[in-house]
Amino acid sequence: MLHRLPKKSILGGFRASSIPISNLELLTEKPAFTMNIDDIVMDPALKLALETSKQTREQAIALLDLVSSLSPTSSPSHEFQLQISKQQKLLLTYLAQLRGLHRNAQVGARETKASTAEARQEVDRLHLQLQNLYYEQRHLQGEIAACESYEYVSFCKSKSSTIANMFCLVTNISSYR
């Protein structure tokens, strides 16, 4: 398909005759299947953005229809120019609303990213703390196992009384020094 460069009209816009028909059909063409977006999108801010987008699209199509109703050979009347000007202003209003909604969505996304990063840092800190505790637990279990497996030899032959064993142990230690 050949694309032609649109000719500027005296209104500052494009004449409908300079837009290939297939492009106009693309703007007004309905998709092959439709899904109910209200079932998918639950956020009120997104619903508002979708509604504004729909209104903007409808206004753009209405403006294109109005401009395409003008014959390419005739010059537009003053009333027609005023009507197109009103339609353009309405379209620009919708576009400004969309820009504002988009800006708000970007700010919300940044705030969400920041809070998510803070929460992730907290989770990472707690995870590291848990890993340190596991390491300390394994180390202490190893120390306990080493102490339990330590073989000792009694210096005293008597096993009759605890006091005698303690006395024997103390005397053996003091003689060791």
For residues 58 and 46, the answer to whether their CB atoms sit within 8 Å is no
Place 72 in a pLDDT band, splitting at 50, 70 and 90: confident
Mean pLDDT of the chain: 79
Residue 162, domain member (yes or no)? no
Percentage of residues in the chain having pLDDT higher than 70? 66
Residue 4, domain member (yes or no)? no
For residue 45, pLDDT beyond 90: no
* 117 vs 22: which has the higher pLDDT: 117
pLDDT digit string, tens, across residues 78-89: 898 999 999 999
For residues 154 and 165, the answer to whether their CB atoms sit within 8 Å is yes
| Domain range enclosing 36 | 16-148
Percentage of residues in the chain having pLDDT higher than 90? 45
Instruction: Please tell me which of 5-9, 36-40, 125-129, 153-157 the model is most confident about, judged by mean pLDDT.
Output: 125-129
Residue 156, domain member (yes or no)? no
Residue 175, domain member (yes or no)? no
Contacts (Cβ under 8 Å, ≥6 apart) of 27: 60, 61, 64
Residue 130, domain member (yes or no)? yes
pLDDT of residue 6: 47
pLDDT of residue 172: 53
What's the domain count of the chain?
A: 1
Mean pLDDT for the stretch of residues 19-45: 67
Residue 172, domain member (yes or no)? no
Tokens of 169: 């142990």
* 104 vs 168: which has the higher pLDDT: 104
Residue 8, domain member (yes or no)? no
Residue 123, domain member (yes or no)? yes
